[in-house]
Amino acid sequence: MDSLLIILVFAVLILNIIFFISFKKEPKNDENELDKIKNDFNGLKDSINQSFSKMSLEVSKDMTGTLSRVDEKVASFNKQVQEIQTSQNNFSRILAGVKQYGGLSEFSLATLLQDLLPASQYIANAKMKPDETRDLVEFAVKLQNDVLCPIDSHWPIEKYKAVDEAFQNKDKEALASARHELASAFRTKSKAVNQKYINPPITCDFAIIFVPTEGLYAELVSYRDPKTKELLIEELRKKYKVTIAGPNTICALIQSFHLGFTSLKIQKNATQIFNDLNTISTRFSKHFDNIFLLRKKLEEAMSVVDSFGKDARSISRSLENIKNKEDEDDPNPDSPSPVRTYGQVDKRKVS
């Protein structure tokens, strides 16, 4: 639109120049022709002015609408920015202070335990030394034979912020000082955990300190003591029997605990099955012994039956011999033998 206006202005200027030159070159003979030229020029000028006025109105209208839409978008963007700032301020107030950051760290640890372990495998707010102190560890995971593994969280946010700010500002001295302060905070925490929560045989001989961010965990893992050149995590493990764990590390540890619980359960069931099989095997042995004893008794009974049969056959042969002798002595073989008439005589006597 702006380029079109510029073109029209240049066209008007060129026409004026042409008319002026032609007016100077031609002789002024005819005043009517001059009036005609003036009228044509005035008509062209009025037409150009009308077109320019119309285009100006359209351009003004379009510019006004565009600026209105831009103002609306800017107002909407400013409103969103204000809402974000309000939310950030509210979040900062929620997390203000060490206590609130500690609560957020404990909440993160509780969420991980709920996702990875059944509720029966860990205890919240457990006493590790009930006879010595009232201090409660945040969580204790049950291991084999109900031995507890204490897990406590720690998030010294101000000291970690100091490390990050010194790194962003590329201040080496401030960075070294801030890292030293952060390491000192975890040394103090590890010493307190060792004194309060490690209590064999109720607990295992080590404890875990959970840090809720991988950035903090990476900072602790990479820190070495400037004098001894020993890694901080090795120092804490040797001196205080404490292991530092970030979110990914604690997940791996808890999953290994869960696999250990499953293995123990399988081992327990396998032991029970083995004992049952031993019992069944013993009972089968007794059963076979009883079968052998029954077979022996049956063999003895068969032997007695065989002896009884032999005696019966011997008696039968003896009776047959007696019968044969009587038949030989009796001239009338059809007469009843005494053995046959014995029953008949008895019957007659009875009648």
Region 153-157: what's the mean pLDDT?
87
Provide the pLDDT for residue 186.
Answer: 94
> Alpha-carbon dihedral of residues 79, 85, 87, 88, nearest 10 degrees?
160
User: pLDDT band at 182, cuts 50/70/90?
Assistant: very high
Region 239-266: what's the mean pLDDT?
83
pTM here? 0.51
Give me the residue label for tokens 């002024």. Answer: 28
For residue range 94-146, list pLDDT tens digits in order: 455 444 555 677 888 888 888 888 888 889 988 888 777 778 899 998 887 78
Check pLDDT > 90 for residue 241.
Answer: yes
Q: Edge-to-edge, what's the strand order for the sheet holding 136-142?
A: 122-127, 136-142, 148-153, 207-210, 242-245
* Greater model confidence, 75 or 337: 75
* Greater model confidence, 155 or 330: 155
Q: Report whether 210 contacts 256 (CB < 8 A).
A: no
Across 99-125, b (16+ Cβ under 10 Å) vs e yields: eebbebbbebbeebbeebbeeeebbee
Provide the pLDDT for residue 65.
Answer: 78
Residue ranges of domains in the chain: 98-262
Provide the pLDDT for residue 15.
Answer: 66
Region 191-217: what's the mean pLDDT?
90
